[in-house]
């Protein structure tokens, strides 16, 4: 074995080890947060959230099979064609038929296996996520800004008060018009989203300034907030507790300050919280 080859092998082994150590470290940190365990974060979303995880797993298995085939071919090539005494290198053009066969196989594997199988298994999951906002959903407004999540509830009367762009400022991120009777009980919070358990929630997502991304891992919800647009997002939580809500778009220097939380509570607790907040306002 040549010196150079040995050095390269050592470096590769070292780097692979370092990479493995980094991945293991990240896992330990995640496990300590006691929120996601060793794999994906817990999933408290109904059907479509479960289907997303299924899609992820199918992709992972199929691409792992492909990766293993490629690594095996590479290992074969390296080991059986390594430099040996008395063995000379030779040139080969290869077999066109074999190469075409390989291309055909992988094309069918990727298109047929991944896209077709995924389509069959997951069906209209995208449609349900993006279009299927239930009529009876509880509406909550989320306004992203550098660097906070402003959240507005219609209050116990179920009606959002009027807003006016002119009234928007630091104190009043939504520009709520306090002269409107429906505005009196509107509740605004920052960075903490309260939602009732097992109730469809319709988020009207907006941004004041730049692109942000509304990301609640446990609910498998991730949607860009785009300035000038109101985007519909819907979700339903099947477990009470406090979970992470983050901005998944590098939106500026204070990006990490957009780490908030989602509090899922029983309908009764949610109603009590809402009434209390409305009274404070």
The DSSP H or E segment spanning 77 is: helix 47-80
> Given candidates 125, 142, 187, 258, which one binds Cu ion under the rule CB under 5 A?
258
> Given candidates 45, 140, 218, 247, which one binds Cu ion under the rule CB under 5 A?
247
Q: Toward Cu ion, which CB reaches closer, 197 or 225? A: 225
Burial (0-12, 13-18, 19+ Cβ within 10 Å), 133: middle
> Given candidates 206, 212, 220, 236, which one binds Cu ion under the rule CB under 5 A?
212
* Segment lying near Cu ion (by CB under 5 A), choices 26-34, 51-59, 64-72, 210-218: 210-218
In sequence order, the β-bridge partners of residue 227 are 207
- Shortest distance, CB of residue 89 to Cu ion, whole angstroms? 55
Q: What is the DSSP string of 109-153?
A: IIIIIIIIHHHHHHTTHHHHHHH---TTPEEEEEEEETTEEEEEE
Q: Toward Cu ion, which CB reaches closer, 48 or 223? A: 223
Q: Toward Cu ion, which CB reaches closer, 160 or 214? A: 214
- What is the distance in angstroms between the CA of the first residue and the CA of the last residue of the chain? 77
Distance CA 176, CA 184 (A): 9
219 touching Cu ion, by CB under 5 A: no
If one counts every other C-beta atom within 10 angstroms of the C-beta of residue 172, the result is 15
251 touching Cu ion, by CB under 5 A: yes
Q: Which two tokens stand for residue 155?
A: 């209050």
Q: Toward Cu ion, which CB reaches closer, 152 or 212? A: 212
Q: Which two tokens stand for residue 42?
A: 């817990």
Q: Toward Cu ion, which CB reaches closer, 205 or 274? A: 205
- Shortest distance, CB of residue 208 to Cu ion, whole angstroms? 11
Q: Toward Cu ion, which CB reaches closer, 199 or 226? A: 226
206 touching Cu ion, by CB under 5 A: no
Q: Are strands 138-145 and 201-207 parallel, antiparallel or unpaired?
A: parallel
Q: Which two tokens stand for residue 73?
A: 């071919």
- Shortest distance, CB of residue 277 to Cu ion, whole angstroms? 24
The contact set with Cu ion (CB under 5 A) reads 212, 247, 251, 258
């Amino acid at each position: 074995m040549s010196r150079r080859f040995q050095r390269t092998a050592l470096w590769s082994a070292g780097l692979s080890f370092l990479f493995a150590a980094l991945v293991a470290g990240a896992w330990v940190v995640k496990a300590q947060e006691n929120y996601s365990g060793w794999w994906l974060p817990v999933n408290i979303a109904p059907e479509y959230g479960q289907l997303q995880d299924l899609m992820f797993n199918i992709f992972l298995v199929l691409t792992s099979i492909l990766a293993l085939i490629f690594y095996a071919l590479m290992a074969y090539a390296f080991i059986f064609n390594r430099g040996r005494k008395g063995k000379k290198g030779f040139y080969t053009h290869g077999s066109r038929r074999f190469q075409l066969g390989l291309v055909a196989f992988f094309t069918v594997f990727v298109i047929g296996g991944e896209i077709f199988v995924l389509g069959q298994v997951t069906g209209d999951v995208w449609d349900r996520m993006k279009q299927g906002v239930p009529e009876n959903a509880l509406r909550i407004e989320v306004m992203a800004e550098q660097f906070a999540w402003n959240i507005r509830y219609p209050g116990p009367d179920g009606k959002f008060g009027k807003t006016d762009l002119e009234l928007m400022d630091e104190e009043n991120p939504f520009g709520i018009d306090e002269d409107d009777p429906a505005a009196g009980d509107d509740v605004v919070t920052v960075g903490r989203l309260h939602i009732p358990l097992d109730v469809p929630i319709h988020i009207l997502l907006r941004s004041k300034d730049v692109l942000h991304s509304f990301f609640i891992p446990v609910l498998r919800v991730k949607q860009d907030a785009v300035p000038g647009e109101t985007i519909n997002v819907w979700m339903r939580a099947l477990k009470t507790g406090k979970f992470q809500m983050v901005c998944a778009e590098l939106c500026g220097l204070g990006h990490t300050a957009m780490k908030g939380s989602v509090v899922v509570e029983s309908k009764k607790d949610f109603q009590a919280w809402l009434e209390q907040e409305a009274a404070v306002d």
